[in-house]
Amino acid sequence: MDTTSIRHDWTVKEARAIYELPLTELIHRAQTVHRAHHPADAVQLCTLLSIKTGACPEDCAYCPQSSKYETEVQAEKLLSVDEVLASARKARDAGASRFCMGAAWRGPKSGSEQFERVLQMVRGVRELGLEACATLGMLTDEQARKLKEAGLTAYNHNIDTSKEFYGQIITTRQFEERLETLRAVSDAGIRICSGGIIGMGEAIGDRIAMLVTLANLDPHPESVPINALVAVAGTPLEGRDPVHPIEMARMCATARILMPKAMVRLSAGRTEMSEEAQLLCIVAGANSIFYGEKLLTTGNPEVEADLEMMRRAGLRALVPADAEAGREAPETRELPSAAQAR
Ligand code: SAM
Ligand code: DTB
Ligand code: SF4
């Protein structure tokens, strides 16, 4: 197997054959690709913060923040720059290297005080020495350029599922609009973070088609978050069966093989997974996690538990290469002590 070539012409058939390999073979292949492009002993720690929670006009069936569904999420106004930077400082001191800010918007309003505030947040996060990521919904070219000027490292915008299944999950925007925002982000010189969710009732073929869409973007996304649905009460997807951890591991491994250089992020759903299952995903090629007690509105493993898991497995903190920041190669760092992380 050629572990170094980067391809943008994957077919669904090829990707499915990879996904369905015997697990032992799949993991061997994913590890081989992983080691050709990344340190084998380190995981990137990214901390999420919901900077504007709830009351979103979109109807994403998985999302507790949509105004269309009655959930326990209480709508909140956009946080202040000081509040966000206090959280970012705490995340940095706890060992995170990336800080990701999420807003429950269809998209930002150009020229608004709110968008200007987000730009200030991005500048502030960068000044703290952290990578800055944001997920604010659809962007125009001009908004993407402004975020780039402010120093944004990456923009998260998930395609979520296959083009075919998309309409069953979201009706207030189209799959093509997602791709259009990804194009604007990429044109502005911001790195793309894009992945999806499994466990929403989609077929295996939809999961594969989603990975193939991402893998055929040129360049590949810098990060690919693989989320297991968090089935929140009040959303249309409440009560869905949990995703089997082996399916998460297969998704991580397939993403790793299709997109060798990407950071594959084991994202939502970790609270439902055993430590062994999470480590299997890491062995299968995931090399990034969300680190901190909360995702956006739902829970995530305790910081201490994540540090213990990583220590037991002999893993370090990964800081990806970033030529703009003067890091020609990825760095690995000591994990913080539990006291530093508190
Ligand atoms: N509003 C913006 C948007 O949708 O582009 C940004 C925030 S949105 C919450 C970011 C991503 O979180 C979604 O695209 C989806 O993939 C993921 N997400 C949201 N709710 C989730 C859930 N219940 N389980 C798993 N992933 C979820
Ligand atoms: C991503 O792919 N997953 C994160 C992040 N990108 C923004 C969000 C997960 C949200 C899970 C549900 C919640 O906490 O509200
Ligand atoms: Fe709104 Fe984003 Fe939630 Fe969809 S996923 S309802 S766009 S916050």
- Whether 265 is catalytic is yes
Q: Give the pLDDT of residue 341.
A: 75
| CATH number of the domain residue 214 falls in | 3.20.20.70
- Listed residue (152, 217, 155) closest to 192, CA to CA: 155
3-state DSSP of the chain: CCCCCCCCCCCHHHHHHHHCCCHHHHHHHHHHHHHHHCCCCEEEEEEEEEEECCCECCCCCCCCCECCCCCCCCCCCCCCHHHHHHHHHHHHHCCCCEEEEEECCCCCCCCCHHHHHHHHHHHHHHHCCCEEEEECCCCCHHHHHHHHHHCCCEEECCCECCHHHHCCCCCCCCHHHHHHHHHHHHHCCCEEECCEEECCCCCHHHHHHHHHHHHCCCCCCCEEEEEECCCCCCCCCCCCCCCCHHHHHHHHHHHHHHCCCCEEEECCCHHHCCHHHHHHHHHCCCCEEECCCECCCCECCCHHHHHHHHHHCCCEEEECCEHHHCECCCEEECCCCHHHHC
130 falls within a domain:
yes
Q: Are 179 and 133 in contact (CB under 8 A)?
A: no
Q: Give the pLDDT of residue 4.
A: 64
Q: Give the pLDDT of residue 230.
A: 96
Note down the domain range covering 79: 12-324
In short, whether 135's Cβ falls inside 6 Å of ligand 1 is: yes
283 falls within a domain:
yes
In short, whether 230's Cβ falls inside 6 Å of ligand 2 is: yes
87 falls within a domain:
yes
Q: Give the pLDDT of residue 85.
A: 98
- Whether 281 is catalytic is no
Atom of ligand 3 nearest to the CA of 296: 8
Atom of ligand 3 nearest to the CA of 104: 8
291 falls within a domain:
yes
Cα Rg of the chain, angstroms:
19
Q: Give the pLDDT of residue 186.
A: 96
Number of domains making up the chain:
1
Count of CB atoms situated within 10 Å of the CB of 102: 21
Ligand closest in space to the Cα of 237: 1
- Whether 60 is catalytic is yes
- Listed residue (20, 23, 24, 4) closest to 12, CA to CA: 20
337 falls within a domain:
no
| Catalytic, out of 133, 207, 252, 281 | 133
Atom of ligand 1 nearest to the CA of 298: 23
Q: Give the pLDDT of residue 60.
A: 97
- Whether 133 is catalytic is yes
88 falls within a domain:
yes
Tokens of 99: 């800080």
| Catalytic, out of 193, 252, 256, 281 | 193
Dihedral pair phi/psi, residue 270, rounded to 5°: -70, -25
In short, whether 213's Cβ falls inside 6 Å of ligand 2 is: no
- Listed residue (99, 188, 190) closest to 153, CA to CA: 190
In short, whether 229's Cβ falls inside 6 Å of ligand 1 is: yes
pLDDT in tens, 37-60: 999 999 999 999 999 999 999 999
pLDDT average per 10 residues of sequence, the chain (342 residues): 80 96 97 95 97 95 96 95 97 94 95 94 95 97 97 97 96 95 96 97 97 95 97 95 95 98 96 96 97 94 94 93 83 84 75
Q: Give the pLDDT of residue 116.
A: 96
| From 63, 72, 180, 251, mutation site for ligand 1 pocket: most ligand atoms within 8 A of C-beta | 63
1 falls within a domain:
no
Burial 183-218 (b: 16+ CB within 10 A, else e): ebbbebebbbbbbbbbbbbbeeebbbbbbbbbbebe
46 falls within a domain:
yes
| Catalytic, out of 60, 92, 98, 191 | 60
